[in-house]
Amino acid sequence: TQANPPDYMVADLTKPNAVNYYVSTNALPNGGLANDDYRLTKMVFRKVAARGQQFRMGRGLNELKSTVIYGEYPVLVSFSEDYYLGIYPVTQKQYMLVQNLSTSPCNFLKNFYGNDDYLMGPFESVPCNSIRGGVWKGSDGSAAQSGAAPAADSLVANIRALTGLDNLDLPTEAQWEFACRA
């Protein structure tokens, strides 16, 4: 693992531990993001520069021109580390590769398209626990309970095992909101 990796990380899902870093999407090989491989056999992540950043998480009094709803009050959140987020939804083909499946368990798009075009669509109809399961992280990125490990047979655990990225995970609520507000 690099001390200060570049802004883009690409995990090749067809080879174990095949993770590469790039300074921009223009630096991606084989035609860059225009190449369908980046939605079929590879996963592309972008670094969110969050280290040392603070932001007020939650709906503020001035949002939606109303008062705070359901006791949701803004909370000041600080980040100790940068993190990566996938730039595309996980596609059906990526899900099949990571889970070592010969066919997709997702039926909506497969039935809709009737050919292999559905493989580029996002995977759907998969229970939440099969995506991650296990113990979740706290909103500040720390372990909510000891371990914070995903379920052994989950998508997250299988991506970790395939790529060697032991800290790869779904974003916490704070990470997601910070990235969305960026």
Task: Render pLDDT for 18-63 as a digit per residue (tens, 0 to 9).
Answer: 999 999 999 999 999 999 999 999 999 999 999 999 998 887 656 6
pTM (2 d.p.): 0.83
Q: Is the pLDDT of residue 113 over 90?
A: no
Backbone angles phi, psi at 38, to 5 degrees: -75, -5
pLDDT band at 146 (very low <50, low <70, confident <90, very high): very low
Q: Is the pLDDT of residue 180 over 50?
A: yes
Backbone angles phi, psi at 102, to 5 degrees: -90, -20
Whole-number pLDDT of residue 123: 86
Question: Which H/E stretch holds residue 101?
Answer: none
From 158, 120, 110, 99, select the one nearest 39 (Cα to Cα). Answer: 120
CA-to-CA distance for 165 and 19, rounded, in angstroms? 9
Whole-number pLDDT of residue 99: 92
The overall average pLDDT reported for the chain is 84
Q: Distances in Å between the alpha carbon of 48 and those of 132, 135, 141, 150, 160?
A: 21, 23, 14, 22, 19
Whole-number pLDDT of residue 67: 55
Least confident of 38-47, 139-148, 152-161, 166-175: 139-148
Considering only residues 135 and 130, tell me which one the structure prediction assigns the higher pLDDT.
Answer: 130
Whole-number pLDDT of residue 42: 97
- The stretch 77-99 carries a mean pLDDT of 93
139: which 2 tokens? 């909103």
Whole-number pLDDT of residue 136: 63
High-pLDDT (> 90) share of the chain, %? 51
Q: Is the pLDDT of residue 169 over 60?
A: yes
